[in-house]
Chain A
Amino acid sequence: MMSSRTQDADGASIRFSDHTLDKATKAKVTLENYYSNLVTQYGERKQRLAKLEAQLKDESLSEAQRQEKRLQHAQKETEYLRLKRLRLGVEDFEALKVIGRGAFGEVRLVQKKDTGHVYAMKVLRKADMLEKEQVAHVRAERDVLVEADHQWVVKMYYSFQDPVNLYLIMEFLPGGDMMTLLMKKDTLSEEGTQFYISETALAIDSIHKLGFIHRDIKPDNLLLDARGHLKLSDFGLCTGLKKSHRTDFYRDLSQAKPSDFIGTCASLSCSPMDSKRRAESWKRNRRALAYSTVGTPDYIAPEVFLQTGYGPACDWWSLGVIMYEMLMGYPPFCSDNPQDTYRKVMNWRETLIFPPEIPISEEAKETIINFCCEADRRLGSQRGLEDLKSVPFFRGVDWEHIRERPAAIPVEVRSIDDTSNFDEFPDVSLEIPSAPIPQGGEIAKDWVFINYTYKRFEVRNLE
């Protein structure tokens, strides 16, 4: 045990070192999470058993067959308990390839050594994250979201940490992300756009029903599975961390019109090159923008930057921006710098413009305008998905079965670990950067790290 032998000069009062206060906060948060989860897991286990018993009643099974199913279920629960007490670490996985890079870490394709299963491992550097005392709060929120509908949300199987990083083990979605798809395709057809916007809407609706706001809906966070269907990722963990996603970043800026504001076509001569040039500029800078810790407010609703607060409607705004980008080739407020983008967002009434040289149906245009308007009038802000179902642009969408139908653009995947739908990252080391083993003195006994562990029931079902 590491202990600092501080002698109290004053016996009447206790002075705590910062180290002690840090450890105390961590202990308190961890225990609060533990006991909150204890109640949750107790209830969930009962629910699973009740669900099994209900199934057994419906099926015409002999008592011996029912007993066999009960034993199988009990064995699965026992295996889950064993899994819960294991200490997972980086050494349990073999890194196969770097498939993504974000502002605060990378994503690798990994294989679990004992089972051979393939996962996506996201590595996040603690030093770049929130204060350590809040890591558990952020993680607790994330664990709740892991219970979201996994039709629409990337499934997380495990999470753990070491002194340097947080690790999140997710299902691997070989279709890549929407940003990469848009970079390949430049634009999508209105049929393609309808498909992806509808699926994203279903995903957004599913998390709003859980009481969460994603707040960072953008093409990089929309992933495609092996069948080309869409799933949301990145809930909450990095929210608000990028400088340009925070109000403070713009404190000294007025909301005057941006310097590259081109006004309407009536006041300037628009050439067909303008929108094409913007699309090319956006595409050229897109990858670097995703990796930057500064980022861009392109997809963020204006009310997020005001002091008035914001609600779930901000996610529907982001969906409108993505819809515009799918059809036009760039988001409506893109600029050379985040400050100008901010000004355009805040002046959306004047800056949300459709270039006349790019064909777009009235229905699509109207839908985008209804997503990107005041929060209280915004499409989706009243009854969520029900708002969208009556909109002409979404005519013909099979909202109940869209996921079972063929996707708009098929994904070509040759094997379970095919990474051809991802970029190459030759400058990122495949080796996972983890804590160096301390030299000389005794190795730190970091026994508490498994308290940040999360493991999903059903992980064994993969076998």
Chain B
Amino acid sequence: MDFLFGSRSSKTFKPKKNIPEGTHQYDLMKHAAATLGSGNLRNAVALPDGEDLNEWVAVNTVDFFNQINMLYGTITEFCTEETCGIMSAGPKYEYHWADGLTVKKPIKCSAPKYIDYLMTWVQDQLDDETLFPSKIGVPFPKNFHSSAKTILKRLFRVYAHIYHQHFTEVVTLGEEAHLNTSFKHFIFFVQEFNLIERRELAPLQELIDKLTAKDERQI
């Protein structure tokens, strides 16, 4: 696969300007501390001694896909064409879908439709034996790293949409500690290996700063 990374990014990621922040930000911060007490996640994301970097990135990418898919699955009742007519992460950010293959020009669509396209696309990537080889001994392709970056960048958008638009439902379902832990793990992982550009993380920067403030690498 050949990704026109730079040009696609400018087309699918469109920050809006001069729109005031909503009250969701306050709700996010109020519950940001809740996690599952899962030990030091910064240690957990570090590449183990002697491990192959691509294999480590691959197994974690699969895990994050499963987690965010499961978490989003719990609020699909409330993420509808009516409530989320556009894929957004707060009032300043919205995303349009394009995968560069079947959909070359970014299309504006509802959040449930966008996320369905996204999850299906990620699943297709994970099922692609040339990209994520399953047989022992088959090496990863040269473009694996950039492909993984694209996958993780897009998965981040699902976290961003959930936090900004559906956090009330998450809290009411008692899932905020689970979402926070998964997201914190995700952020530590992408930071460790520089897998998502900082500007892509902007919709949740305050939350990221708060969640990641305490954990430092332990020797």
Q: A residues within 8 Å of B by Cβ? A: 1-7, 14, 16-17, 19-21, 23-24, 26-28, 30-32, 34-36, 38-39, 42, 45, 49, 70-71, 73-74, 77-79, 81-82, 84-86, 114, 445, 447-448, 450-451, 460
Contact = CB atoms under 8 A, between A and B. Distances in A.
B197 interface: no
Nearest to A29: B178
Interface string B75-90: 1111111100000000
B172 A28 contact: no
A85 B48 contact: no
Contacts of A16: 77, 172-173
A17 B76 CA distance: 11
- Contact residue range for chain B? 35 or more
Contacts of A23: 70, 73-74
A35 B77 contact: no
Contacts of B56: 81
B82 to A, nearest CB: 7
A448 B70 contact: yes
A45 B48 contact: yes
Contacts of A27: 70-71, 73-74, 175, 178
Contact of A447 (B48, B123, B135, B181): B123
B2 to A, nearest CB: 25
A49 B49 contact: yes
Contact of A82 (B39, B59, B174): B59
A24 B73 CA distance: 8
A14 B78 CA distance: 9
A214 to B, nearest CB: 30
A448 B73 contact: yes
Contacts of B175: 24, 27-28
A31 B50 contact: no
A16 B59 CA distance: 33
Interface in B42-75: 43-44, 48-52, 55-56, 58-59, 62-63, 65-67, 69-75
Contacts of B39: 35, 38-39, 42
Contacts of B66: 447-448, 450-451
B67 A31 contact: yes
A24 B74 contact: yes
A70 B50 contact: yes
B36 A85 contact: no
A142 B74 CA distance: 26
Contacts of B38: 35-36, 38-39
A73 B51 CA distance: 10
A448 B123 CA distance: 11
Interface string B117-154: 00110010000000011111000000000000000000
Contacts of B72: 1
26 contacts: A2-B76, A4-B76, A6-B77, A17-B77, A20-B74, A20-B76, A23-B70, A23-B74, A27-B71, A27-B73, A31-B181, A35-B38, A35-B39, A35-B181, A38-B38, A38-B39, A39-B39, A45-B48, A79-B136, A82-B58, A82-B136, A84-B59, A445-B123, A447-B70, A451-B70, A460-B136
Contact of B51 (A77, A86, A451): A77
